[in-house]
Amino acid sequence: MPDDSKKNKPKTTSEAGIPGAFEGETVSRRRFMTGTAHGAGAIAATAFTLPALAIGLAPVFEKHEQPWQAVGPPEDFDDKSYIPKTITTTAGVGEVGKSTVYVRKRNAQIDTEKRDEYNAYIAISSRCMHLGCPVRYVAASEMFICPCHGGAYDKEGKVTAGPPPRPLDRFYTRVKDGLVEIGPRFSVNSEMRRFSPRDPGQPIDGIGQYIYPARPTVRKLPGT
- Binding positions for another protein, rule: CB under 8 A: 56-57, 59-60, 62, 64, 89-90, 92-94, 96-97, 130-134, 148, 197-202, 211-215, 217-218
Q: What is the DSSP letter of 94?
A: G
Amino acid at 205: D
Cβ proximity to another protein: between 113 and 199 the closer is 199
Least distance to another protein from the beta carbon of 135, Å? 12
Residue 169 burial (CB < 10 Å; 0-12/13-18/19+)?
buried
Cβ proximity to another protein: between 10 and 216 the closer is 216
Cβ proximity to another protein: between 188 and 204 the closer is 204
Residue 128 burial (CB < 10 Å; 0-12/13-18/19+)?
buried
27-48 in b/e burial notation, b at 16+ Cβ within 10 A? ebeeeeeeeeeeeeeeeeeeee
Cβ proximity to another protein: between 155 and 188 the closer is 188
Least distance to another protein from the beta carbon of 121, Å? 22
Which of 194, 112, 127 is CA-nearest to residue 164? 127
Cβ proximity to another protein: between 92 and 223 the closer is 92
Least distance to another protein from the beta carbon of 72, Å? 23
As a whole number of angstroms, the distance between CA 191 and CA 45 comes to: 52
Least distance to another protein from the beta carbon of 145, Å? 16
Q: In angstroms, what CA-CA distances link 32 with 21, 25, 36, 155? A: 13, 11, 6, 74
Amino acid at 214: A
Least distance to another protein from the beta carbon of 52, Å? 11
